A and B are shown apart, each in its own frame.
Chain A
């Protein structure tokens, strides 16, 4: 990835609030068309980082190049090319979903008709005439994203778009995010759901206490852990002793309902199990980004 093709280049940015180092030397680049995730628990410095990149905050030091320009101080040339959803859903008072879009569109000189079309993309066409405060949490988030996209920006910044949503609403939102990526937009988004980032993002930066701990494709990070895969079976199909004798099994462990095998070579283990017809209740759990976090920080991940 060369820097000319980078949508975002961040070099060693820092920002302190008094004693607190909210962002403490963060660097990363985001390629054009990439879906980039900034992950970490609450207070990690995700919002501060994102807002420095957007040009809403001035870093104490460091440099940001956004689409080839400096976002700070307020760079009017850049603004039409970036779309932003802030962590708080910001809407005008007492307007319907359609009117919100048209009003935000007006800020960018977008026609009312074009603005209203965005409702389709986020699946809110049937809520067009509903007032914003009557929408559900997920619908509000989707409307907020539509408002960030209304002027067809090249890059979109979304701050915790899936926070505080129920699982179904989160999945609906994932579809929206994927649809945006398909339109060729660069997406930079923050989340404290590591599992979600693993599914959605091309690359992630895992943050904690103002620093980036790891930065890569989720799969690469997980593989880099060299953590065992856990294969779980219904209890009684195989004894723990027999299981630990199978080729590739490092360890077998039995509780009241299931038998769990740890392996670093799941392929021979699974075929051996298949040969014995012992696949009932099979579950395969590989390491996740949460394990990566545990490995990096030495503590359990808690959003």
Chain B
């Protein structure tokens, strides 16, 4: 057990002291998260903003519902001018009990929405004022639909990709470097099982994946980006670990064929990059053409990504892990077996 611990610590130190690895593990994916997060921040923003003059109980109720956004003006003329200029679809003018809505006639769809919303709130306020119980009861509840705000799909996507990159590169480069420097042969001459050595290295990768998860989700949750996690987000942890093992196995396979670190790096990129693009790392894959979606189903990263989306932002429960977990475990077994077949102790 102490051997396992010492080995894990040694490998962790080796990892932490390698600046290039740290960059590609943490900063590089974070750069994507930040750049895309900022670029796409306002896309998918679908609440309508209208001008507002005055205040009152109807306005508070509207505000609380979040159905509309307001831009306040002191002066009625200024508010109406905004509508005339086409900057805002409507202006709500509240003077005591009197509520006026002025809307632009050009944008009929949005105007109708605004009129409908405001009308509804005024009616409800009127009913409440009579003190009568309502004849019909009406409740509305939000449904999280498939369309997500960019940060909601970017975070799970970039997290899956970052974990995959770090696990593939981590295992491939370690393997090649150890073979080239004859550390593998040296280990073979020690009375320790290959499993101990391998599992201590996987443990390091798994720890790194968890830190990546915390970091990326932490940054995405900052107010600028506004990621909102859903209920069972912690189900991402088993998914991170399974993903680490699957991509670690892939790295072992790449490392078995590569002779030098440079070759291993290039090969790992060739494997990981296309997979990342086709698996929904940077855009939601359900917007891609059907054939592409079908192709992407062949990649373990696609399934890891789907699982991440489901548990992190779609509010799904443990049942959402079934397919991704099965795919990742299957992939690990098959690829791990292949890697063990082609594994070489020396050059």
Contact = CB atoms under 8 A, between A and B. Distances in A.
A88 B182 contact: yes
A88 B3 CA distance: 24
B10 A90 contact: no
A95 B9 CA distance: 11
A107 B187 contact: yes
B322 interface: no
B190 A107 contact: yes
B182 A103 contact: no
A108 B190 contact: yes
Nearest to B183: A90
Interface stretch (A32-40, A76-84, A200-208, A293-301): A76-84
B95 interface: no
B124 interface: no
A95 B182 contact: no
A102 B10 contact: yes
A74 B182 contact: no
B297 interface: no
Contacts of A104: 186, 190
A107 B11 CA distance: 13
B122 to A, nearest CB: 69
A76 B14 contact: no
Contacts of A125: none
B14 A95 contact: yes
Contact of B189 (A56, A91, A94, A105): A56
Interface residues on A, range: 20 to 34
A107 B3 contact: yes
Interface in B53-100: none
A56 B185 contact: yes
Interface residues of B, number: 24
Given A93-B14, A95-B13, A109 B186 contact: no
Given A103-B7, A106-B6, A93 B177 contact: yes
Contacts of A91: 181, 183
B183 A108 contact: no
A277 B281 CA distance: 92
A24 interface: no
B185 A79 contact: no
Given A86-B185, A90-B185, A93-B177, A99 B190 contact: no
Contacts of A109: 2-3, 191
B190 A79 contact: yes
B141 interface: no
B18 interface: yes
Nearest to B186: A90
B217 to A, nearest CB: 28
Interface of A: 54-56, 74, 76, 79-80, 82, 84, 86, 88-95, 99, 102-109, 111-112, 131
5 closest cross-chain pairs (CB), A and B: A106-B6, A107-B190, A94-B17, A103-B10, A79-B191
